[in-house]
Structure formats: structure tokens, C-alpha cells
Amino acid sequence: MRAGIWICLLGLAGCGAGAPLSEDDVASLRILPDRIELCRLLDAQLVFEARTVTGAVSDVAQSPALDILATDAEVIRLSGPGRIQGVVGGRTRLVAYFAGRQATADVAVADGVLAGLIAEPERIELEIGRQRVVGLKGSVSDGSRIDVSSGALGTRYRIDNPGVAAITADGWLFALGEGTALLRATLGEYRIDIPVEVRGPGPHLVRLELSPPSISLRQGEEVQLSVSGLYDDGGRRDLTADPATTYLSSDRAVVEVNATGRVTARIKGEAVITVGHGLQVARASVSVSE
């Protein structure tokens, strides 16, 4: 890969004009991804996709015939074949030339270093057969956020239940079967876990309601917690004894709760009962007196 200047590259664009095309001639050139968000010291491995007149596609990032330049060379630097790194905050455009073809990509660099990962949304719900891009953001030390969903930035994904969903290197999530899974995204030293729920055809659970929402008991007393599920078609269903409903006490020395929502006060104190069903969660506060 050679550094180029505008005059030479503009001259290359006209090379071979009017010559008959052969099967190996390049018909088009693309930079993937064509929009990149970086921060200082963060790298992106780009693909320079050359397509011949016969439709054959290859990545020419390693080719010595590939010329790359940036309209603002202070914002990024070339850190390897087809690889760029953010240097200072700003914007620039990459221009690549190969075999008389040109491609461009826009690059924005945040003026800080990567400080963490954020999932937007924090959890993902999909119907079977649907897909979406994971909304993975990088938290930058200057207070900004950048899109780090693409594998070009070194982001790696792993899902613990491949029967429920599949994930591509570029963060496309495909819903395969009904159930739940945990998607882990890793970039450098940072990682984040994203709950995923894949649902069949509706209606779909959108909220849990607990009755009573708060509980006051004396030591040794019991009460039955009722759980109602509210659905997106306006329906309501009793989920109290549903096998998929889970119950958890924050302090079992103070309060115990069984698998069907029966709450028992043990000793004086405060606790919280957390109820879950799928990705929906609701909580009830419990106060126990003597």
C-alpha cells in the first residue's frame, strides 16, 4: 500500500480510458464500512472490495497497487494494510484508488479514548424471523459516544444459546427460535452482556404487575404475592404459578419466597422480592416487624 498525493491519484483515474475491458479488469471499488466512528488510539480494519467485470470480489487491502489518502491527515493515521487509527478529534474522508477505480469513506474521530461499552437498548426483544443491528456504543473519555457495533473496530460477539439467535461479526442479530439468550460483546479490555428474548407470534408480554406492590408483615406471617402479565394486545394473564415466573428475595434471612410467590416473614428487617418472567421484571418491597 503506497501513500499517494492528489496529483498522482487524479492521474491514475484516467489511466486506460477507452481500452477494452478484460475479465480481470476492476469494475468497481468499495470501502467497507463506508462510515467509521473512532476515538483516539482506536483502530479499524477496513475492507477494500474490488469487483471485476465478471463479478469476482476480493479484498485488495494488502495490494501494493492500492493508494489511500485522507483529506485531513492529522485526524487519522495508517496503522497497517487497510488499517486506520484515530489520532485527534475531527473529521476526514478516506480516498482509495485501485486499478483506475475510486472509493471514499467518511471518518469521524472523537477527542478522547475508549472508556467503556454501552448497549442501546440494554436488552433486545425480537420476533422469530426478524433481525436488527446490535446498538453497541463506545463511551469516550470526552463524554461522547461512538458506534462500535461493527467488527471492523475489533468488536467481537458471542451468544450463549445459538438455538435462539445468531450474531454476525458486524453485529447483525437474527432471531431463530423462541427463548432467551445472553449476548456478550467485547472490545479490547471492555465487555458487556445484553439479554436477548426471541418471541413467537403475539401477543407479547410488555409489563408485570405485582399485588400487593409493597408488603408489611410481622415475624412468622405469610402472604401470597400475585403476578399479572400485561400484553401488547391489551390482555392480562395471571402468571403467579407459571413455571416461567421466577421469585428472588434480596435477604432470605428476613423474607423467604417460594416458587409460586408465597412470601414468609422470618425476622425483623427490610427486603425486596424480585419477580421475573422472560425479560420483564417487577419488584415488591417487604417490611417485617416484630
Per-residue pLDDT of the chain (290 residues; tens, 9 = 90+): 444 433 233 333 334 445 566 777 999 999 999 999 999 999 999 999 999 999 999 999 999 999 999 999 999 999 999 999 999 999 999 999 999 999 999 999 999 999 999 999 999 999 898 999 999 999 999 999 999 999 999 999 999 999 999 999 999 999 999 999 999 999 999 999 999 999 888 788 999 999 999 999 999 999 999 999 999 889 999 999 999 899 999 999 999 999 999 999 999 999 999 999 988 999 999 999 99
Do 114-199 and 205-289 agree at the fold level?
yes
- Looking at residue 21, its pLDDT comes to 62
Q: What is the 3-state secondary structure (H, E, C) of the chain?
A: CEECCHHHHHHHHCCCCCCCCCCCCEEEEEEECCEEEEEECCEEECEEEEEECCCCEEECCCCCCCEEEECCCCCEEEEECCEEEECCCEEEEEEEEECCEEEEEEEEEECCCEEEEEECCCCEEEECCCEEECCEEEEECCCCEEECCCHHHCCEEEECCCCCEEECCCCEEEECCCEEEEEEEEECCEEEEEEEEEECCCCCEEEEEEECCEEEEECCCEEECEEEEEECCCCEEECCCCCCEEEEECCCCCEEECCCCEEEECCCEEEEEEEEECCEEEEEEEEEEC
CATH topology of domain 2-110: Immunoglobulin-like (2.60.40)
CATH topology of domain 205-289: Immunoglobulin-like (2.60.40)
CATH class of 114-199: mainly beta
Q: What is the domain partition of the chain in residue ranges? A: 2-110, 114-199, 205-289
- Looking at residue 200, its pLDDT comes to 85
